[in-house]
Amino acid sequence: MKIPKRLEPLVEAGLVDAVMRQLMSGKEAMIFVVRCGEDIRCAKVYKEANLRSFRQSVDYTEGRTVKNSRRARAMEKGGRYGRKAKEEAWQSTEVDALYRLAAAGVRVPQAYDFVDGVLLMELVTDSEGEPAPRLNDVVLTPEQAREFHGTLIREVVRMLCAGVVHGDLSEYNVLVGSRGSVMEPVIIDLPQAVDAAGNAHANGMLARDIGNLTRYFGRFAPELLDTEYGKEIWSLYKGGKLYPAIELTGRYERIEKPVDVGGVMREVDDALKEEAARQVYRMEMGQK
């Protein structure tokens, strides 16, 4: 096929030898199957901001740091340079997350290179070497649903232990690859990933991510709908008790301290006495 303009720099640099076909076009990028020497990989070409249906929300970008102070100021002010810098930061978030999560043992596509808004990475395949389907295109048995759900919950825990919340995780952002004859879920699409410690919305996003997975797998294994992994995981994380190999229960018990009625009444009584004293003071001042 004709080489897309955005892939020309990679061909000229010798990173890509041939563009074989377009694999898909999503809300944030177009994916092409490419040949790099003897390897078949994929090239993710990020769409420009005005062509994406997924917008950069402040909820996602909160907590992200920019080391270059000039770029940071430009991004805050906007303008042409600021918009370009913000777009580059949005794209590089996925690259950084892929390396970070792979190092933490999370099954994500291997990243090879990132050039001019194009991410060159592993082409996840099925047992026959064809591009892996998305999770939403796979019909699961109840046993497979429970197994996949458990695997992805553990992956979410590994991600959180690495300080990352996906932010848009669902059956549409998981590929069903294979390791030999065994199917394995592979988490994809991470440009909106958030910093768990620096983003005030991380808890809500984690709950939504896990809720999406639970609802999907609950279609095949209804008992999963009664689990509360999101609350359990976040509670352990905030308490500093979460670690990758932790055994979860899927249950969450909110510990509520008994109300000190006597203490509350004393505070109310003190407040009433203070107000009465102020009224007396005002009256005395008014008589002078």
The catalytic residues are 168, 189
Give how far Cα 210 sits from Cα of 166, 217, 228, 278, Å.
Answer: 10, 11, 9, 53
Dist CA 42 CA 281 (whole Å): 78
Q: Cite the beta strand spans of the chain per DSSP E.
A: 18-25, 29-36, 39-46, 111-115, 118-122, 164-165, 174-179, 182-187, 194-195
Sign, Cα dihedral of 33, 39, 44, 45 = negative
User: Which has the closest alpha carbon to 155: 107, 111, 197, 191?
Assistant: 107
Dist CA 66 CA 73 (whole Å): 9
Dist CA 224 CA 214 (whole Å): 6
Q: How many of the other CB atoms lie within 10 Å of CB of 216?
A: 21
The answer to whether 125 touches 132, Cβ cutoff 8 Å, is yes
